[in-house]
Amino acid sequence: MATAELKSIDKRMDGAVTVLGSEFAGLRTGRASPSLLEPLMVEAYGSQMPISQVGTISVPEPRMLTVQVWDNGLVKATEKAIRESGLGLNPQTDGQLIRVPIPEPNEERRRELSKIAGKYAEQARVAVRNVRRDGMDLLKRQEKDGDISQDEHKTLSAEIQAMTDRHIAKIDEALAAKDQEIMQV
C-alpha cells in the first residue's frame, strides 16, 4: 500500500470530522450565527434556492440575525422559510430587512440539542469506521494478490487503526466542547 493510499484514507477521515464541524455550527446554542440559517431553502422564481442566494445574512448583535433580501418579491417567501424551518424562530419583517431574534433555549431544548449533537457525532464515528473498513479490505486484497507481505499488512493495519483512533478522539473532543457550549447558561 502506497503512502498516497494512506493519505487518501486520512483525508477521508478528516472529511468526516469536517462535516461534523459544519453540522455542529448549525446547532443553535443561544448565540446568533449565520450558519443557523444557511441550510434553509427559499421558494424563489419557481424553484428552491439557498437563503444565501436571495439575501445577505448578518449578525448585528449576539442574539439577533438579519436577512437583507435583495428582491422585494422574495421577502414573504424568505420569512416563510425561516418561520417553517423547525428552528423555533419568529422572524419580523421591516421592508426588505428580516430580523430574526434568537430566543434563549430552555433546559429541555438544551437536552434535545445535546442529543442531536450526539447523533451527529455518532454518524461521524460511523463514517470514520467505514473508511477504516475500506482501508482494511484493501490491505487484505493486496496481501492476497501478493502485493504486500503479512508483516507489511500488520504494520499498515496498525497505522490505519491509529489513524482511526486519532479521528474518533477528535470527534469525541468536538462533541464534549459542543455539549459544554449547549449546556452553558
pLDDT in tens, 142-153: 888 888 888 888
**Structural domain total, the chain:** 2
Residues 56 and 12 in one domain: no
Please give the residue range of the domain that contains residue 120: 3-26+106-183
Single residue among 53, 78, 101 that ends a domain in this structure: 101
Write the pLDDT tens digit of every residue in 13-37: 999 999 888 888 777 666 677 777 7
Average pLDDT, the chain: 86
Write the pLDDT tens digit of every residue in 70-97: 888 888 888 888 888 767 788 888 888 9
Single residue among 44, 72, 101 that ends a domain in this structure: 101
pLDDT band at 170; cut points 50, 70, 90: very high
Residues 19 and 49 in one domain: no
Residues 95 and 110 in one domain: no
User: Phi and psi dihedrals of 8, rounded to 5?
Assistant: -65, -40
28's grid cell: 443553535
Under a CB-based contact definition with an 8 Å cutoff, are residues 142 and 135 in contact? Answer: no
Single residue among 66, 81, 101 that ends a domain in this structure: 101
> Rounded to two decimals, what is the model's pTM?
0.65
Q: Does the pLDDT value for residue 46 go beyond 80?
A: yes
Residues 94 and 129 in one domain: no
